[in-house]
Structure 1
Amino acid sequence: MTFHLRAATDQDLPFARTLTHRAMDRYYVQNRLLWSNDGFDMAWASRENWLICHDDEVAGFISLSRDSHALYIRELHMLEAFRGLGAGSWVLEQMALKAQAQGLLRLTVFKANPAKSLYQRSGFSVVGEEDGFWRMERVCRGSS
């Protein structure tokens, strides 16, 4: 399968919010966290958001932020029908290319989330932990 990224717009916000809430609800419950639609919407407005597409179908989305040290994956979610087809690995490689200027690609994942193994296969290492989360990063250097 081939995938591509398309810049998300405000019209994509309801899709992203619903997908994130459905994917993360059990982890929020396990960790006694409260979901906030308003909180998600405020974060969306301040981030770089991309839809992950296969042909004309939306397969998922990724939400990013950055500072001078790293590119941060804030959200990465796929529709059930597209899981296990290589989209996650493909997106992580695209983000590693985007992160070359900063040198690091970072994310936080719930400890109970099996996506941790995808991140490890994609070159991420655990660099810390907080409560129910692993902090992970991947070194991304451009060829010079």
Structure 2
Amino acid sequence: MAFHLRAATDRDLTFARTLTHEAMSGYYAQYGLLWSNDGFDTAWAGRENWLICRDDCVLGFISLSRDRHALYIRELHLLESCRKQGAGSWVLEQMALKACPQGLLRLTVFKTNPAKRLYQRKGLSIVGEEDCFWRMERVCLSS
């Protein structure tokens, strides 16, 4: 049962928006932030989006952007029933490989999100903070 990525399409937007809202609503409430479906949809349209799959099952999705310095993980969410099965670790390793041309893999994570520990185990370090977020990055070298 190997994991793989499949390019997301506009048909996957509702799934991604709902999954993100469900996963993040507690953090939004904790930090007094407002969720915007329109904001999510606009961001989705301007990003590289992938579904995280095992066999024919969709487990979650990842949303990316990049500049000349880094590949940015903007969203990474797994269905609650699909967590703690190795998919998150696998995706982070795939993204580290994908980030090699830019040299850095970057993301931000809510300070109270336990996913920070996974990110640290996969080589991302805290490099700064903004309000309720940690900024994290990993140097990715071409082999």
TM bin (shorter chain): over 0.9
Measured after TM superposition, the shift of residue 2 of structure 1 is 1.6
Measured after TM superposition, the shift of residue 43 of structure 1 is 0.1
> Mapping of 1:1-144 within 5 angstroms?
1-143=1-143
Q: For 1:80 and 1:34, how far apart are their aligned partners in 2?
A: 22
Q: For 2:81 and 2:114, how far apart are their aligned partners in 1?
A: 17
Q: For 1:134 and 1:140, how far apart are their aligned partners in 2?
A: 19
Measured after TM superposition, the shift of residue 103 of structure 1 is 0.3
Name structure 2 gaps, 5 residues minimum: none
Say what the alpha-carbon RMSD is for the aligned residues.
Answer: 0.5
| One-letter amino acid of the structure 2 residue matched with residue 72 of structure 1 | Y
How many correspondences in the alignment?
143
Q: For 2:130 and 2:39, how far apart are their aligned partners in 1?
A: 20
| One-letter amino acid of the structure 2 residue matched with residue 80 of structure 1 | E
Q: For 2:11 and 2:70, how far apart are their aligned partners in 1?
A: 28
Measured after TM superposition, the shift of residue 134 of structure 1 is 0.1
Name structure 1 gaps, 5 residues minimum: none
Normalization by structure 2: what TM-score? 0.99
Q: For 1:30 and 1:132, how far apart are their aligned partners in 2?
A: 10
Q: Which runs of 4+ in 1 moved over 3 A?
A: none
Percent sequence identity is 79
Q: CA-to-partner distance for each residue in 1:87-137, whole Å, 9 max, x for gaps? A: 000000000000000000000000000000000000000000011100000
Q: CA-to-partner distance for each residue in 1:18-73, whole Å, 9 max, x for gaps? A: 00000000000111100000000000000000000010000000000000000000
| One-letter amino acid of the structure 1 residue matched with residue 80 of structure 2 | E
Measured after TM superposition, the shift of residue 80 of structure 1 is 1.1
Normalization by structure 1: what TM-score? 0.98
Q: For 1:33 and 1:2, how far apart are their aligned partners in 2?
A: 37
